[in-house]
Structure 1
Amino acid sequence: MGLLLVVAGVPGTGKTSVARELASLTGFPLVELGSYAVEKGLVAGFDAETGSYVIDEDALSREVSALAESVEGRLIVSTHYPEILEPDVVEKVFVLRAHPLVLAERLESRGWGRRKINENVMAEILGVVSYNAVEAFGEGKVYEVDTSNASPGEVARLIVGVLEGRVNLAPGIRIDWLPILPPEVLSRFDNYE
């Protein structure tokens, strides 16, 4: 049975690029969870307001657990909702984080609407993905990596270093944007209209 190495984070933190670099460096197979769910028909519908599919989380979790059982070694999973995965098949979760202003610029460059940008930036400010991962898997399996000023290759090499024991990265929630953000920045992103 294989174990999952999860690369997680809100949109714009670099999940897809880092996971692809990590797969290239390690040779481990990669599953991009959102695309996989759509490809396998594990969706409960489509949300026209957000422009995204509603994932059947239970069915997707079962499918990924079965996939892990069929693989020898490790399998990389890229997702923004790691908490849907079964804890017993997850080895480590690397939550990618980005400074909220850097993240906003990245999402704006994608042409996203203000509401979607604000929701994702506020999720990053509050550390929602990290919190959910720690709740699901325990603090010892979750590692935060700041991608604000690092290339996907640098982040992937750092993750490989952690896996090989060459890089000492403390597990748990270590990144807190709230103390360094002035109130006007927070108020910029708390509007969802």
Structure 2
Amino acid sequence: MGKVIIIAGTPGTGKTTTAKLLSKKINAVHVDVSRYVIENKLYIDYDPRHLSYVIDEEKVIEKLIELVEKSDKIVIIDTHYPEILPPDTVEYVFVLRTNPLILEDRLRKKGWPWRKIRENVMAEILSIVVSNAINRFSEDKVFEIDTSNKTPEKVVEEITGVIKGYIKPSKQRIDWLSLLKPEDIMRYEISGEE
């Protein structure tokens, strides 16, 4: 059975680019969970309001575990739902973080509608992906990397350093709430009319 490394984060933080580069660098299998779900029809429905698929969690978990068990390589799982995998199958969880103002710009460049941008930026501000990862895997397996002003190659270098043990990662948690101005945070609050 292969080891699992999760590359997680809010959409726009660089997960897929990082996961692809890392998988090439360490000769691992890369699985983009969003794409995997769609290609294998592991969803229940499409939610037009949130512009996303509603996944069939049981089937996704079953298929991912099956894939990991069959692999003789490291499996890199690229997802914004790190908590979907059982803790005993996962060796590391790297949560990519991006300054919310930079994240907004990245999502705008992708052409996302404001509602979806706001929802994802607020998730980043509130550290939703990190909180879910820590609750599922424990503090010891979860590492945060600020990708705001780093190239994907630099991020991969940091991850590789942690995996190989020559970089001791900081255990200090990223707290955007303490770094942003209140008016910046308020821009992303979701009102009841939506």
Instruction: Verify same fold: TM over 0.5.
Output: yes
Which residue is 2:62 aligned to?
A: 62
- Contact 1:4–1:90 (CA<8 Å) still a contact in 2? yes
The secondary structure found in structure 2 opposite 1:92 is: strand
- Contact 2:29–2:73 (CA<8 Å) still a contact in 1? no
Question: Structure 2 CA distance, aligned partners of 1:82 and 1:111?
Answer: 25
Which residue is 2:38 aligned to?
A: 38
Question: Structure 2 CA distance, aligned partners of 1:37 and 1:110?
Answer: 21
Q: What pairs with 1:8-87 in structure 2 (closer than 5 Å)?
A: 8-87=8-87
Of 116-125 and 45-54, the range deviating more from structure 2: 45-54
The secondary structure found in structure 2 opposite 1:189 is: coil
Gaps of 5+ in 1: none
* Sequence identity (%): 46
Which residue is 1:136 aligned to?
A: 136
* RMSD of aligned alpha carbons: 1.1
Gaps of 5+ in 2: none
Deviations 1:16-72 (A, max 9, x none): 100011011111010001111111121111112222211111110111111111112
The secondary structure found in structure 2 opposite 1:120 is: helix
Which residue is 1:167 aligned to?
A: 167
1:178 aligns to 2:182 (yes or no): no
TM-score, normalization: structure 2? 0.96
Count of aligned pairs: 192
TM-score, normalization: structure 1? 0.96
Of 141-150 and 48-57, the range deviating more from structure 2: 48-57
The secondary structure found in structure 2 opposite 1:13 is: coil
Offset at residue 191 of structure 1 (A): 2.9
Of 131-140 and 69-78, the range deviating more from structure 2: 69-78
Q: Which runs of 4+ in 1 moved over 3 A?
A: none
Offset at residue 188 of structure 1 (A): 0.7
Question: Structure 2 CA distance, aligned partners of 1:73 and 1:168?
Answer: 24
